[in-house]
Amino acid sequence: MATIPAARWASWIRARSGQWLRRRLARRASPPRHLRPADLQAALDQAAELLSAALHTADTATLDAAIDAFRQLATVITEGYPGRDVVLYNLGGALGTRFRRGGDLADLAKAIVMIKGAVVEAGDDHAARHRYLTGLGVALRDRFEQTGDLADWDEAVEADRWAVASLPADHPDRPGRLSSLCGALQVWSAARGDVAGLDEAVVAGRASVDLRPDDPGALSNLCGALQYRFELTGNRADLDAAIIAGRSAVAHAPADATDRGTYLANLGNSLRNRFEVAGDLADLEAAVRAGRASAAALPASHEDHGACLSNLGLAVLARFDHAGERSDLDEAVEICRAAVDVVAPDFPGRGHYLFNLATTLQTRFELVGDMADVDEAVRALRMATAGASASTDLGSRARYLSNLGAALEARCARAGGLADLNEAADAGRRALDLLATATVDHPDRAMHLSNLGLTLERRFDRTGDLADLDEAVTVGRAAVAAAGDGHHRAGTSGNLCGTLHARFARLGVLADLDEAIIAGRVAVAVVPDGYARHTRQARYLSNLGTALESRTERTGDLANLDEALTVLRAAASSTPAGHPDRAKYLSNLGLALQVSCERTGSLADLDEAVDVARGAVAAVIDVAADHPDRAMYLSNLGLALQIRFDLVKRPADLDEAIAASRDAVAAVPDGHPDQAMYLSNLGLASQVRYEHCGNTADLTTAERAGRQAAAVAVASPRTRTEAARGWGRASALGERWGAAVAGYTVASELLGQVAPRRLARSDQEHLLDTLGELGSEAAACCVHAGQLQRAVELFEQGRGVLLGQALDTRTDLTALAEQHPGLAERFAALREDLDFADRTRRPQLADTFEQLITQVRALPGFDRFLRPPQLRELAEAAADGMVVIVVVSRFGSQALIIDAAGAVEAVSLGELTPEAVEQRVNEFLAVLDDEIPLGDDWPSAEAQVNAMLAWLWDVLAEPVLERIGATGRPADGTPWPRLWWCPSGLLSFLPLHAAGRHETRDEPVPATVMDRVYSSYTPTVRALTHSRRRRPVRDLGEGSARSESMLAVSMPFTPGAADLRSARAETDRLANQLSDRVQVLTGPAATRQAVLAALPAARWVHFACHGYSDATDPSASRLLLHDHETEPLRVVDLARLRLDDAELAVLSACSTARPGQRLTDEAIHLAAACQLAGYRHVVATLWPVPDRPARRAVAAFYDRVFPDGGYSTDRVQPALHATTVALRARYPAYPSVWAAFVHVGG
């Protein structure tokens, strides 16, 4: 961009002041007061001679004398007297000269006042008015250079505009004034960040060239304006026009002209920019030639020599980027160093030269990894930032800061200094703060927002602070919005894609991943053409590919995987060997190929995954043996080899996997977030080799790696939990039970952090999906270690995470409300907000909720507020009976029997292995998938159900009942023992209450559960304490009949489902039985909203409708009401309710107590949702029951619960038990009928 020449008015003063003033004085009849014309002329001649002498020498005294002389003349020549304008202008010029020599701003301020006075004195029609205005513009810009006050620049530009306007169209000075205005507007636009100013600059520049087409200075000024406008707008036509103007400027400049070097530099810049856009190598070579010629044309003492060198360095750097010749990169660094060295430390343009030097150094650092380069880049940018004065344009100052942040970030990635990242984030924020002062949105704002987002993402990578990652997403989105459709759109969209994917990887939020894919597609689609298109597009393709691959892992959508492989192959194939990013693209492709093998079973994909993972390791070593990403590529290679070993059992693969994993661990710095993942992978591979080879050294490695990984505080909770579980498993395999308990304790404590409240339910479920059986494994190890109390506590803590979070929000606040009512009110309000918060508000509300919990725990007596319950608290659930936790684990299965006193007994269940349970459940579910019709020819499927019940008796129920002393049918008149079964994992699908050899039911000692004890279920012991909590005392005064009311929901005809003939019969019978205490919602009236609105007013509810159990998405299980196709009544809707005094929910619908095939330890089904909503008793079914026996069962149950119209909570479980026994008597050959009904809670 062209620069405004310094004070050109001085020569005009010397040549013209004396003679012109004499002519003006001659026109005046009467001289100024107290001064004869001859004396006045002598005084003027003397002042002019003094000023002329002062301008030719550095004599301060002469300059002071000239100023005094002109000041006296200004005093005696009155306003309006001819010649006063010349005196004021000369006085202003003299003061300006003294300012430039001495630096006294007071001189400059007075100079501006004097020149303004000259403009006023001259009037609108004065022939010299344009010269005065031009001089005023120069003085105002001088002051801006000192103060940075943009108001001076605004006024200077306005003066230049008036200077042009004051000249006739044919005035010989008009082309020069237009060209000066063009240059001034360029600088003003940079200072203000105003593209409109550039439009005016181009107009002025073209007008100047139109008047004087052969003026090289005007042509070069126009070239600069067009080039700058292209840089801000991306308009290719401007760049082409800039090159035409630049070439014409060089062509019209004499070969020996001093300014020819500057014209060549401007042309070279434009040619380099066009190469970067269009990729024409001829442009690049021409840019290098022009740069070399410009540097040669100017002597080292010329003020533009540094600029010529710096521009040449950028051209040579572009040639390196294109061809990859290391010699070009080294030359670019040396040229840019020379540009810095050739100018004085206080030279105004030195910041730009330092900036360009830093760019070349950072490029070489990325290639070679020499810390000296990045250290020098940081120093250069710090100097550029420190040396920028208030007058340096906003865009440049912001760029210095933003690139300083990038350099610090790069240094941190290699050296690991968190201080660098903190400074980088601060620099990025300062850059944006600067641009915020612009009067219009600065075109660079999008780029700086995006850079800050990347810095914050990197800091999150090091610290694990989610606030940084959230802010990175926020500023990344702001960057995309600021970019609009401009030329930063691709870069900002590509960066946002990566940041959103990083947050998905940490939190599992599917919406983030979907948004990342959208942003990635935009980046790929709009990447600008040019030499660097393939480089930039490869980066965007790789980002998009990894996001698509992650979506396949999350959703199973193979179309995403196909696209991921396509774009990742394109990224890798378009990146030449030796490129610093090639290793990353290969590694990402390898990961996608691993997923392809896992999803499709293709061994060819897995073999290719191993090959490209090896290629990634080799590629990164070619770049730098100590490259910070080497550990990641080694770990990915190890993972691919381990997967191949799992499939083909080739020992060499496992050995190489462990070697690669060891190298990855050795290469990552301590405390790095990824250290936990690399250690965890090493531990897993070592454990696998131990299980195949029996080498205890591998087991020791696995245990140590898991323990170390779990301790990496900045790693993701999920990674740490899996690592701690690996530690526990390795210890258990070596029968080091104390160490195993320690590992599982850490895993259980971390589990609550894996799926934080800030996430949507589906995202929480995804994160917990691979952590099933943790509670059972932990409990089994505790039993082996003799820690039965701890076994119960870890079983509870290691499962039912989502249920536990929901129970947290339903905790009894009585004590808190009594002592700290304000906190109790805040807690109650927050939990309500959390239940219904959307994805946007939920993170902030969840953070506030966690902070409030921490605040409460700090209060005396509340240190255990919402902490995992201890055994003494859990044992309260066993009042009037016993709780039987059934642990199914690879380390041995156990039944943990808890009584009300808190005593725990363990019963070994040696034949209840995970493999046996899985086989029996699969067989059982296969039976249930076929309808079992009633009739004389019952299918053999019923025999399979009976066989499963007998097996349950042998391996589980009989040992438990024998231990508690339930050895036969209770004697008449004696209370029946009561058990609450708390099964784990897949065992939750089976009817433990119906276990037995039912052919013995009439024998004196029946071998059946239902002939010895009452059975109920609970998903967790804590959930049972919630069901059995003390209910609020109800005021049953007037209207008590309405207080003891029932809501009956009947759907005999359901859109999109089969008719239920018994539904109306069930609700009609209830209406007759309870008369006006029943509110019936049926058919079109039974909508989701109507039911949810009616539930809080009723203590009892009966649903006679279809139920749907979603095996793959259990939270979507639902009751089919009239509007179920658009507004289903789902598990999550029921679970959100808080019905403090609700008593009984009867779900006369299909499979309402059946868990999903995913997340079985989370106990997500409709019955558990009703228990969580507040119902003390829930009656539900494990599978569908035919219409007729279902109707009989419901009628018999209610006859026993409401024998005389009155209700007692103690009658509910015995009533269901008696109903089940009666059904068995009526349908003895059909256990699929009578074993389906279960009681939950109570």
Q: What is the pLDDT of residues 748-759, one digit of tens each?
A: 999 989 988 888
Q: What is the pLDDT of residues 703-712, one digit of tens each?
A: 999 999 999 9
Q: What is the pLDDT of residues 830-841, one digit of tens each?
A: 888 887 787 778
Range with lowest mean pLDDT among 26-40, 451-465, 948-962, 1067-1081: 26-40
Given the DSSP bridges, would you call strands 1118-1120 and 1106-1108 parallel, antiparallel or unpaired?
antiparallel
State which H helix or E strand residue 558 sits in: helix 558-573
* pLDDT greater than 50 at residue 23: no
Tokens of 678: 């690399």
* pLDDT greater than 80 at residue 28: no
- % of the chain exceeding 70 in pLDDT: 94
State which H helix or E strand residue 656 sits in: helix 651-667
Nearest Cα neighbor of 299 from 331, 259, 244 is 259
- In one letter, which amino acid is 429? R
Q: What is the pLDDT of residues 136-159, one digit of tens each?
A: 999 998 898 888 788 898 899 999
State which H helix or E strand residue 85 sits in: helix 84-102
Q: What is the pLDDT of residue 1141?
A: 86
Q: Alpha-carbon distance 510 to 12, whole Å?
A: 72
- Tell me which of 258 and 859 has the higher pLDDT: 859
Q: What is the pLDDT of residues 889-901, one digit of tens each?
A: 999 999 999 999 9
Q: What is the pLDDT of residues 332-390, one digit of tens each?
A: 999 999 999 999 998 888 999 999 999 999 999 887 778 899 999 999 999 999 988 77
Q: What is the pLDDT of residues 655-683, one digit of tens each?
A: 999 999 999 999 998 888 899 999 999 99
Q: What angle do CA 525, 531, 535 make, to 5 degrees?
A: 60
Phi and psi at residue 562, to the nearest 5°:
-60, -45
State which H helix or E strand residue 475 sits in: helix 466-483
Span 559-582, average pLDDT: 91
Distance (Å) of CA 505 to CA 203, 498, 673: 51, 10, 13
Q: What is the pLDDT of residue 17?
A: 43
Nearest Cα neighbor of 417 from 378, 471, 385, 447 is 378
Residue position matching structure tokens 């230049």: 160
Q: Alpha-carbon distance 524 to 878, whole Å?
A: 61
HEC-encoded secondary structure of 1167-1213: HHHHHHHCCCEEEEECCCCCHHHHHHHHHHHHHHHCCCCCCCHHHHH
Q: What is the pLDDT of residue 814?
A: 82
- In one letter, which amino acid is 88? L
* pLDDT greater than 70 at residue 473: yes
Q: What is the pLDDT of residue 429?
A: 96
- Tell me which of 785 and 80 has the higher pLDDT: 785
Q: Alpha-carbon distance 707 to 742, whole Å?
A: 9
Q: What is the pLDDT of residues 1007-1058, one digit of tens each?
A: 999 999 999 999 999 999 999 887 665 443 444 443 589 999 999 999 999 9
Q: What is the pLDDT of residue 24?
A: 43
Instruction: Give the three-state DSSP class for 392.
Output: coil
Q: What is the pLDDT of residues 281-307, one digit of tens each?
A: 899 999 999 999 999 998 888 889 999
The distance from CA 430 to its chain's CA centroid, rounded to whole angstroms, is: 22
* pLDDT greater than 60 at residue 2: no
Q: What is the pLDDT of residue 1032?
A: 60
Q: What is the pLDDT of residue 1087?
A: 97
Same fold, 168-252 and 1044-1241: no
Range with lowest mean pLDDT among 125-129, 419-423, 596-600: 125-129
- Helices marked H in 1048-1165: 1061-1074, 1088-1094, 1131-1135
Instruction: Give the three-state DSSP class for 302.
Output: coil
Q: Where are the domains of the chain?
A: 1-166, 168-252, 1044-1241
Q: Alpha-carbon distance 53 to 56, whole Å?
A: 5
Q: What is the pLDDT of residue 209?
A: 95
When pLDDT is cut at 50, 70 and 90, the band that residue 576 belongs to is: confident
Q: Alpha-carbon distance 261 to 762, whole Å?
A: 65
Nearest Cα neighbor of 1196 from 1171, 1167, 1224 is 1224
Q: Alpha-carbon distance 121 to 846, whole Å?
A: 70
Question: Burial letters for 396-421: b for 16+ Cβ neighbours within 10 Å, e otherwise?
Answer: bbbbbbbbbbbbbbbbbbbebeeebb
- % of the chain exceeding 90 in pLDDT: 66
- In one letter, which amino acid is 121? E
Q: Where is mean pLDDT largest: 456-465, 907-916, 925-934?
A: 907-916
- Tell me which of 564 and 194 has the higher pLDDT: 564
DSSP one-letter string for 680-733: HHHHHHHHHHHHHH--HHHHHHHHHHHHHHHT-TTS-HHHHHHHHHHHHHHHHH
Q: What is the pLDDT of residues 864-889, one digit of tens each?
A: 888 889 999 999 999 999 999 999 99
Instruction: Give the three-state DSSP class for 1083.
Output: helix
Given the DSSP bridges, would you call strands 894-898 and 904-908 parallel, antiparallel or unpaired?
antiparallel
CATH of domain 1044-1241: 3.40.50.1460
Tokens of 579: 């490129």
When pLDDT is cut at 50, 70 and 90, the band that residue 468 belongs to is: very high
CA dihedral 331, 337, 340, 342 (to 10 degrees): -80
Question: Burial letters for 480-514: b for 16+ Cβ neighbours within 10 Å, e otherwise?
Answer: bebbeebbbbbbbbbbbbbbbbbbbebbbbbebbb
Q: Alpha-carbon distance 220 to 230, whole Å?
A: 15
Q: Alpha-carbon distance 1071 to 1108, whole Å?
A: 26
Q: Alpha-carbon distance 571 to 583, whole Å?
A: 11
Q: Alpha-carbon distance 820 to 2, whole Å?
A: 70
End-to-end CA distance of the chain, in Å? 82
Instruction: Give the three-state DSSP class for 829.
Output: helix
Instruction: Give the three-state DSSP class for 1102.
Output: strand
**Is residue 1222 within 8 Å of 1189, Cβ to Cβ?**
no
Q: What is the pLDDT of residue 12?
A: 34
- Tell me which of 250 and 929 has the higher pLDDT: 250
**Is residue 692 within 8 Å of 654, Cβ to Cβ?**
yes
Q: Alpha-carbon distance 320 to 364, whole Å?
A: 10
Given the DSSP bridges, would you call strands 1078-1082 and 1046-1050 parallel, antiparallel or unpaired?
parallel
Question: What residues form DSSP beta bridges with 1104?
Answer: 1050, 1148
**Is residue 777 within 8 Å of 890, Cβ to Cβ?**
yes
Q: What is the pLDDT of residue 159?
A: 92
When pLDDT is cut at 50, 70 and 90, the band that residue 532 belongs to is: low
Q: Which fold has domain 1-166?
A: 1.25.40
Helices (H) and strands (E) in the chain, counts: 53, 14
Instruction: Give the three-state DSSP class for 734.
Output: coil
When pLDDT is cut at 50, 70 and 90, the band that residue 32 belongs to is: low
- Tell me which of 1059 and 33 has the higher pLDDT: 1059
CATH homologous superfamily of domain 168-252? Tetratricopeptide repeat domain (1.25.40.10)
Span 721-750, average pLDDT: 97
